[in-house]
Structure 1
Amino acid sequence: MLRASLKSLFSRKLRLTLAIVAIVLGVSFLSGAFVLTDSLGARFERLFTSINQNVDVQVALSDDGQDADPTPRITQAQIDAMAALPGARSVSGDVSAVGVIPFDREDGKPATTSGAPQIGGGVLGDDPFALVQLADGRWPSTDDEIVITRYTANQTHSATGDRLRVFLPEVNEAREFTITGTAVYDGDRDSLAGETLILFEEGFAQRTFYGQEGLFSGAYLGARDGVTQEQLREQVAPIVPDGFEAKTGEQANEDAASEVQAGLSAITTYFFGPFAIVALLVGIFLIFNTFNILVAQRASELALFRAMGASWGQVTGSVLIEAVLVGVVGSTLGLLAGIGLGLGGSAALTSLIGAQLPGAGITVSATPVILAYVVGILVTVVSAFVPAIRASSVPPLAAMREVNRPDKPLKALTIVGLVFAVPGIALLILGLVGSSLTPLLFGSLLTFLGVVILSPLLTRPLAGVIGRVVGWGMSGRLGVRNALRNPRRTAVTAAALMIGVTLVSAASVLGESFTRTIDQTINQSVGAEVIIQTNTTGGPPGEIGFPDRATEQVRAVPGVDQVVPLYVSIEARVDNAAPPFGGTFATDDLAVMRDMFSMKAVEGDLRTLQPGEFVADENTFDSRGWELGQSVPIQLDKGAEQQYRLVGVYESTPIWTDTLVLPKQAVAGFAGPLALQGYVSLDDGADTDAVVDGVERVMADYPLVTVGDRSALLDQFDSFIDIALGIIYVLLGVAILIALLGILNTLLLSIFERTRELGLLRAVGLNRRGVMRMVGTESVVMAVFGCLLGIILGVGLGAALSSALIERDFLTVIAIPWVSLIVFVVVAAVAGVLAALWPAWRAARLNVLQAIAYE
């Protein structure tokens, strides 16, 4: 029986190829994410090892030290004590800070990176532990001199001898310095990971970064000959100050690489993970349909096995053995493709960020290998299980007869589908009535599964309507009938596309609803004509932004009426619970803010706040069970927990929900003193463009701050939604690709199944063009059916979720993106045509006599 199964499998290599491709697509994304993470992690580990090759012990801030306020420092006396250790050959203190941003000398704009830090450091001269060496010039020796890396010089179009403007975050201003030299990293590298690096004279750097000379943020130690890293660490441990910890150079490198790898893992998982899930999910339908058709075509062969004495288990096992073999082949190819994705992704990411990481080859751990085979084989076996059971239940004599076997009734399928759909709809209604997202999400999932199972019932009515539109002429009508005569097969084939379109349609409805809501809310409730924003990728709110003196300068710009600076904390814990989702804000005058944002008081008064007072939105007020006048404990980013009294409640809106506002005095407990945003209203008749220019001149020294009119604010919000939708559309592309394979596979297999029928059609006068059109029409019907079903389901689920968000004041309107939905249908029709090309070509070129005689 095993030999017979293998011979049967190898005799149908072409028919199983596309099922293997589906497994390859799913497994490749899954394994590629792990290979990419491991490979980049290995390259970063090699990088840290190479740049710290002379470091035997590193003294750095511990987790407690990083959370402490103020941040602890190492003193010069402690550095000297480390240098006096018997095992220490040399010691060097570290002086560094992030957010030190140079300006381009050509256009005056701040130099940017692709997410890499912008670093400043302090040097005294040549240092055995220094990351960089001079390429030309000399080290800085005065307060107005700097050395920059070659990469920084290229980014700022500067060279030795030039004057360069640099933003210093600790003093919140930009100053000009003379470049005395350029530096490179070990191995003559311009950059490590696309970062900018500016080196100042050490004393100036200490005063600027830490407030006084003689302080360091860490230390590096080298061991004398014969002293191991562990021995030196034991010697230095007793004199390490509180808030710091000593690590061997090897451990420090491993921890740094692990931290980078954790970040990479999160990125690759969230990016590749959805693609792998979608690919595997739609692949299940493709593999199931493939085995279902193959089993139906092999009914006579399997019945013959049963007649010759094969048991029920042997027939089932033969089909499952084929599934395992297909899974092994697909998983192997998918793993190889994933390794290729990891290699290409590693090269692309390092090129994108401008990194010059040392090569470390491709790292393939056991995790992607195990996952590739477990997932690939499991998905294939599960997909083939139902066809295998169906194959074993075929009566031998009935299967060997050359009679037409009609499609089975859909009664059982209907019952199973209703078991999912009815509770799903009930949960949807419960979620909508109770404004609860949890039952809504579970209801959406159950409803989706129910519709997928019930889709064969919808094939004839919905696909029939589609057929009336595309089924022109006799060839078209034949193609429509072919799609309708086996509703199970058509529904399963279309399900792959339906999954992707459902996801994208729901996301499109949510995205369009958010876009319309933001446009309406900002236009109706934001009374600011000029908006000041800060790029939050540069650091946490408070540590980036603009200082109070800049706010006063903006108030002095001609044409400005009122200015509302907003200070933001994203870590503040309120009433011993998680931070508010919308954030904790502070401003200098709530009364002005109230008028600027058209905030409406629900309870209490929205007046200028006094120290120890706060206001909250109505949703937060209700969900936390507060009462007006109640004192609430609030733990800000730094300092002790304080009691604040609730003096007012404002109406929740999409931009002011799950938020609270504190007085300006609370900013002392935020991560930093800088305002993150500013909203500027103008005098009557003022020129908006002129005011924008004036505010831009004020903010020119703050490189992360941008200035624009109200449309710029709308564009910023819309860009976030566009990015999210862009990722969803790529997911749709993956689903369409696999759906193409599913339709292609179904049509190819059905051509083998209908060989005699095609021969008869040719014999009675249907020409080759007619055959191709018939197959093409069948393909288009299946594709558009899947697309329309996905749109109907996706729009319904998206509208339900939007409705729940309206009840929670996150949205104000449900918007349907009709243009996008029409594009989806057109893309599906084109995909159906493309999927039909090869099967139609094969069908049109069948030999008429051989086809008629086909058994």
Structure 2
Amino acid sequence: MSPRLVLGQLRAHAGRYLGTFLAIAVAVGFVLASAGVLRTITASADATFGMRYSDTAVLVQNLGDRTSAGTDATREEAAGAQRMGLEAIATTPGVRAFTVDSQTYVRVRAEGRAQQMTTATALSPDDRLRWQPLASGRLPARPGEVAVRADSDVPLGATFEVQPAGRSDPAPVTVVGLFDLSGQPDLTSAFPLYTVDEQVQQWSASGAGGDVRVAGDGSVPGTALAAEIAERLAGIPGTSAVEVSTGSAEARALAESFVGSRDVYTRALLAFTVLAVAVAALVIGTTFAVVFTARVRETALLRCLGATGFQLRLSGAVEALVVAVLATATGLALGRFGVSVASREAPRLGVTIPLQEVTVPPSAYALAAAVGVGVTLLTALPALWRATSGSPLEALRPGDVRPDPWWRRLAMVLAGSAVAVAGWTGMSSAVDSRSVVEAGAWGVLTFLGVLAVTAGALPTLLGAVGPVFGLLLGPVGLLGARKTARSPRRTAATAAAVLVGVTLTATMVTGIALLGPAIQSRLVDRVPLDVAVTAPDGVLPGGLPEQLAGLDGVAESLVVVDMYAEDDQGRRTVLRVADPSRVEQVMRREVTLPGPGEIVLPESSPVAASARDGDTVRFTFFSDDDGRDLVVRRSGDQWALARPGSVPAWPVAQLPDGSPWPAGEEIPQQFVPRTEQWLRMDDGLEGERLEVALDGVRSAAVDADPSLAVTETFASREQIAGSVRTVLTSSSLLLAVAVALALVGVVNTLTLAIRERTREIALLRGVGVTRTGVWLMLVLETALVAASASALGAVLGAAFGAHGAAALVGPGTTGNIGLPVTDLLTVGAGGVVAAVLAAAVASLGAVRTRITGI
């Protein structure tokens, strides 16, 4: 092998290798961008959603919980357990500081609006444990001062009233600080308040408790510190329900509760990587197949002049290696620059979380480089081998006149069909088991099988039906249609380029379209109730339930009866009593419903904490005389539920002698059932229409009784939607790169294929076909092939995208979400347009070929 020969070939074929260079560079950049963008988004989501545990080594939950205490004795017992527990934590070696996130529920009363139930949380006095970043203003320093979210549309200096739960006297507060909590949905409250602990304790009727966050001094690992604290707390009476975990574990759990399991990110990263590698291999392989096929006569001439097949193969391999190395280096720089640009411009694209430092792991560079160099050599060598095999004299014959045996195409169809069926079966099985990487690998195998079937069958099919379309387009169209069958290898190369690009784009479009609603639907499951209307004394004004149920935008309405259920330990909870079928109608998802003689209790409820599913526990309600034995059912939902008939009805007002209460006399408060109203809004409401409907509910509540509270989950859902957009923005960025890669593959293949048809074009010009006629023939031929490949690619992409989304979030989550038909049609049409434009532009130069080019 002569270096001069290699350099001479590179210079002589610079035009051909330019397209190959671009294909490799874009493919390498795509692989690197896939890893870099997704890794950056993942790290940023973990850091943002887990911000509250950024300096927390250990989290202690349920220490001194007094929310379910039904007597002063049980409240004092819980307070004592908290005091001793905090002393034990403070004296544990390795503890630097701790804070109690005391929290209580209050009602916010703003002028002209219904009251809103929300939370008030104590700020940590320790700077490192106070996780809320201050955007403007200052921190609350005394009672009467609060801080709120910066995106709550409440300005600094605003004043409103806060009514503590169970009290009638509201307290005025002033907003002194705004916290930047962008991208952090709060599913407990849409409008949380942050203030000093003294204020929280004043607002709490029985003393507020909360999670204990512990900061370590770095001398003891978090897991060991958590184990030591758990052991110390185990010896304190009243701490049986305490849960101890590490801050990092809680941060991951919190991030997962908002944006889905972190494994989804890992699987998505691997799936995109598999997809990127496969597409890069197909694009590069198609490009080199065209390049070396065009040089068959050249290599044959060199062999006739004395060059051996080994020398030509070695020279061609070195050419491919040089191009691969240069293109890979360019692609790495392009991919890294693309990640930086995407991260810098992310806020303009709708990313609602602050991105961390751009993260591109070293393994991503290694993988991208391996794709650029390794895939180039693997795909170039077979094409090079075919170009240098066989008889040199046979190779000197024009490629267009070489026969293509029918049995070869039939073998490709049969083998490709078998591979596609095996790949589809394996992919379906992997989707059912939620194995994304395995599903991606089987999907690539399926596509290769389809590609083989297309290469073998499409020229024959177009040869059969093409003349029908050709007759409608005149002699030039008929000539172009017949060319598709006369040159099966060129038709297969064109179809492969379009099929790869359209399938890739359609797969990502479908996957993104299905993942967004699927993830959002799963997150909305955490807040399945749209609106709850409650009163401070538990008594709704007469006529209000009927009025709210008749408002525009309200789809379902349910009045729920509230009462206390108390276990034998004196712990009690608010029990909602309603017909289970009506509860099912008002909720946005299935919730655990009670059967006859059952009580549904939240998993987190201390009431009957030791009871398991199926255990029978005795509960009392209004007095010790109305005890009922109920079968416990545990639930992850937030409501304790029972059906009418399983629990006592509210006592009927009677005179001391047992006679009925006189008509017209006011019934004592203790005999008036406490109720609240649950509303489900119309599914089609959004934007301004939704706000108008909610304003109607608020106005009706204010007019009936200004003390009523309207609790809405829509602000939380909007925050959730923002989080989902954050997750999918990275996919949208990758989609843009994928489209670029697809366009490069299509344009490169078509340009090279048309440039190698000089003899054919010169012959057509010699027999009298005009330049316009030749140009139309080339364009119509490309349009026919591209339309067929685009239609198949859109269908394949829809199937692959649906399976990929199902593998990521589960088949049941995506089953009811429709395919993006309009987007798929746009992608298919875009593939045809891109191919036709590439052919049209490339043909402008080709039709200028002189007749002497024969």
Q: TM-score, normalised by structure 2?
A: 0.63
Corresponding residue number in structure 2 for 1:851: 853
Q: Please list the CA deviations of residues 28-77 of structure 1 after superposition, one character each: whole Å capped at 9, or x if unmatched.
A: 2331233335556888999999999xx9x855217999xxx999999456
C-alpha distance in 1 between matches for 2:514 and 2:418: 27
Give 3-state SS (helix, strand or coil) of 2:546's partner.
Answer: coil
C-alpha distance in 1 between matches for 2:533 and 2:700: 15
Contact 2:59 2:244 in 1 (8 A): yes
Q: Please list the CA deviations of residues 669-711 of structure 1 after superposition, one character each: whole Å capped at 9, or x if unmatched.
A: 43522899967699xxxxx99999448966973231489xxxx
The answer to which of 817-826 and 12-21 deviates more is 817-826
C-alpha distance in 2 between matches for 1:330 and 1:173: 74
Query: Counterparts of 1:714-729 in structure 2 under 5 Å?
Result: none
C-alpha distance in 1 between matches for 2:699 and 2:227: 50
1:702 to 2:715 alignment: no
Q: 1:472 Cα deviation (Å)?
A: 2.6
The verdict on how the C-alpha distance between 1:694 and 1:332 changes in structure 2, with shifts beyond 3 A counting, is: same
The verdict on how the C-alpha distance between 1:43 and 1:535 changes in structure 2, with shifts beyond 3 A counting, is: closer
The verdict on how the C-alpha distance between 1:510 and 1:21 changes in structure 2, with shifts beyond 3 A counting, is: closer
Q: Which runs of 5+ in 2 are unaligned?
A: 69-77, 186-190, 234-241, 551-555, 561-575, 616-628, 642-675, 683-689, 702-707, 806-810
Q: 1:369 Cα deviation (Å)?
A: 0.7
Aligned with 1:778 (options 777, 781, 784): 781
The verdict on how the C-alpha distance between 1:734 and 1:267 changes in structure 2, with shifts beyond 3 A counting, is: same
Q: Please list the CA deviations of residues 474-497 of structure 1 after superposition, one character each: whole Å capped at 9, or x if unmatched.
A: 443443344332223322322343
Give 3-state SS (helix, strand or coil) of 1:141's partner.
Answer: coil
Corresponding residue number in structure 1 for 2:454: 455
Aligned with 1:372 (options 359, 368, 379): 368
Give 3-state SS (helix, strand or coil) of 2:469's partner.
Answer: helix
Query: Counterparts of 1:793-832 in structure 2 under 5 Å?
Result: 826-832=829-835
C-alpha distance in 2 between matches for 1:50 and 1:366: 26
Contact 1:284 1:383 in 2 (8 A): yes
Contact 1:315 1:392 in 2 (8 A): yes
Give 3-state SS (helix, strand or coil) of 2:335's partner.
Answer: helix
2:596 alignment partner AA: Q
Q: 1:786 Cα deviation (Å)?
A: 0.5
C-alpha distance in 1 between matches for 2:248 and 2:821: 53
C-alpha distance in 1 between matches for 2:714 and 2:821: 37
1:398 to 2:394 alignment: yes
Q: Please list the CA deviations of residues 719-753 of structure 1 after superposition, one character each: whole Å capped at 9, or x if unmatched.
A: 99999999999988766654543443233223332
Corresponding residue number in structure 2 for 1:472: 473
The verdict on how the C-alpha distance between 1:850 and 1:92 changes in structure 2, with shifts beyond 3 A counting, is: same
1:60 to 2:97 alignment: no
Q: 1:784 Cα deviation (Å)?
A: 0.7
- Which fold has the larger relative contact order, with Cα–Cα distance below 8 Å and residues 6 or more apart in sequence? 2
1:394 alignment partner AA: G
2:297 alignment partner AA: S
Q: 1:299 Cα deviation (Å)?
A: 1.9
The answer to which of 781-790 and 21-30 deviates more is 21-30
Considering only aligned residues, what root-mean-square deviation do their CA atoms show, in Å?
Answer: 6.7
Query: Counterparts of 1:606-755 in structure 2 under 5 Å?
Result: 609-612=595-598, 642-644=612-614, 669-673=635-639, 693-694=696-697, 701-705=710-714, 737-755=740-758
Corresponding residue number in structure 2 for 1:589: 579
The verdict on how the C-alpha distance between 1:489 and 1:690 changes in structure 2, with shifts beyond 3 A counting, is: closer
Contact 1:147 1:199 in 2 (8 A): yes
Q: 1:834 Cα deviation (Å)?
A: 1.8
Corresponding residue number in structure 2 for 1:388: 384
C-alpha distance in 2 between matches for 1:258 and 1:329: 44
Contact 2:557 2:679 in 1 (8 A): yes
Give 3-state SS (helix, strand or coil) of 1:218's partner.
Answer: strand
1:205 to 2:200 alignment: yes
Give 3-state SS (helix, strand or coil) of 1:93's partner.
Answer: strand
Query: Counterparts of 1:383-462 in structure 2 under 5 Å?
Result: 383-400=379-396, 405-422=401-418, 449-462=448-461
C-alpha distance in 2 between matches for 1:493 and 1:174: 78
Contact 2:779 2:840 in 1 (8 A): yes
1:789 to 2:775 alignment: no
Give 3-state SS (helix, strand or coil) of 2:219's partner.
Answer: helix
The answer to which of 92-101 and 12-21 deviates more is 92-101
C-alpha distance in 2 between matches for 1:257 and 1:492: 47
Query: Counterparts of 1:92-241 in structure 2 under 5 Å?
Result: 93-95=99-101, 121-123=121-123, 130=130, 136=137, 139-142=140-143, 144-148=144-148, 152-153=149-150, 155-160=152-157, 162-164=158-160, 178-179=173-174, 181-182=176-177, 198-205=193-200, 212-213=207-208, 217-220=212-215, 229-230=218-219, 241=232
Corresponding residue number in structure 2 for 1:841: 844
The answer to which of 204-213 and 42-51 deviates more is 42-51
1:469 alignment partner AA: F
Aligned with 1:344 (options 332, 341, 349): 341
Contact 1:407 1:486 in 2 (8 A): no
2:198 alignment partner AA: G
C-alpha distance in 2 between matches for 1:595 and 1:134: 42
C-alpha distance in 2 between matches for 1:103 and 1:404: 83
Contact 1:279 1:738 in 2 (8 A): no
Q: 1:509 Cα deviation (Å)?
A: 10
2:285 alignment partner AA: F
Give 3-state SS (helix, strand or coil) of 1:230's partner.
Answer: coil
1:301 alignment partner AA: E
Q: 1:82 Cα deviation (Å)?
A: 6.7
1:217 alignment partner AA: V
Contact 2:351 2:725 in 1 (8 A): no
Q: TM-score, normalised by structure 1?
A: 0.63
Contact 1:299 1:399 in 2 (8 A): yes
C-alpha distance in 2 between matches for 1:91 and 1:140: 20
Q: Which has the larger radius of gyration?
A: 2
2:197 alignment partner AA: E
Contact 2:313 2:384 in 1 (8 A): yes
Contact 2:24 2:324 in 1 (8 A): yes
The verdict on how the C-alpha distance between 1:181 and 1:194 changes in structure 2, with shifts beyond 3 A counting, is: same
Q: Which runs of 5+ in 1 are unaligned?
A: 112-117, 185-189, 223-228, 519-533, 567-585, 598-605, 615-633, 646-662, 683-687, 708-712, 803-807
Contact 1:548 1:674 in 2 (8 A): no
Give 3-state SS (helix, strand or coil) of 1:181's partner.
Answer: strand
The verdict on how the C-alpha distance between 1:209 and 1:454 changes in structure 2, with shifts beyond 3 A counting, is: farther
| % identity of equivalent residues | 21
Corresponding residue number in structure 2 for 1:8: 9
C-alpha distance in 2 between matches for 1:818 and 1:15: 37
Q: 1:406 Cα deviation (Å)?
A: 0.8
Q: 1:371 Cα deviation (Å)?
A: 0.9
Give 3-state SS (helix, strand or coil) of 1:701's partner.
Answer: strand
1:755 alignment partner AA: T
Contact 2:284 2:376 in 1 (8 A): yes
1:704 alignment partner AA: T
Corresponding residue number in structure 1 for 2:626: none
2:786 alignment partner AA: A
C-alpha distance in 2 between matches for 1:373 and 1:301: 31
Contact 1:95 1:206 in 2 (8 A): no
Corresponding residue number in structure 1 for 2:298: 301
Contact 1:278 1:734 in 2 (8 A): no
Give 3-state SS (helix, strand or coil) of 2:639's partner.
Answer: coil
Q: 1:776 Cα deviation (Å)?
A: 1.9
Give 3-state SS (helix, strand or coil) of 1:558's partner.
Answer: helix
Number of equivalences: 720
Q: 1:146 Cα deviation (Å)?
A: 0.9
The verdict on how the C-alpha distance between 1:41 and 1:119 changes in structure 2, with shifts beyond 3 A counting, is: farther
Q: 1:455 Cα deviation (Å)?
A: 1.5
Q: 1:767 Cα deviation (Å)?
A: 3.8
